[in-house]
């Protein structure tokens, strides 16, 4: 059985820049950090089912991948101290 710690961050879409996309991220079991575009809850559900995913975060709004990766690292630092 694989146990996954789940952490999510609520997102409110307040009519921000229409160019912003939703992103989510995860920590792989090898400790690498990954971010992906969020299209539906199925994205995160599949991550929870994967034996290679240790933790899941998101979704949140960002303009692009680099900004999403920066946000992901900020979230990890905030939650893990």
pLDDT digits (tens, 9 = 90+) for 32-64: 999 999 999 999 999 999 999 999 999 999 999
How many structural domains is the chain composed of?
1
Using an 8 Å Cβ cutoff, are 57 and 76 in contact? yes
For 75, the 3-state DSSP assignment is helix
Q: Please provide residue 80's backbone torsions phi and psi, each rounded to the nearest 5 degrees.
A: -105, -5
The C-alpha atoms of residue 77 and residue 71 are separated, in whole angstroms, by 10
Which of the four pLDDT bands, split at 50, 70 and 90, describes residue 4?
A: very low
Is the predicted pLDDT of residue 71 greater than 90, yes or no?
yes
Hey, what are 14's tokens?
Answer: 């307040």
**pTM (predicted TM-score):** 0.76
Domain residues for 9?
5-80
Which of the four pLDDT bands, split at 50, 70 and 90, describes residue 24?
A: very high
Give the closest residue to 79 by CA, choosing from 40, 25, 41: 25
| Beta bridge pairs of residue 55 | 5, 27
């Amino acid at each position: 059985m694989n146990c996954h710690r789940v952490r999510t961050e609520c997102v409110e879409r307040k009519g921000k820049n229409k160019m912003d996309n939703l992103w989510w991220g995860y920590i792989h079991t090898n400790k690498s950090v990954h971010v992906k575009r969020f299209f539906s809850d199925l994205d995160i559900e599949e991550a929870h089912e994967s034996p290679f995913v240790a933790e899941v975060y998101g979704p949140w709004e960002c303009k692009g991948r680099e900004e999403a990766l920066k946000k992901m690292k900020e979230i990890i630092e905030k939650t893990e101290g």
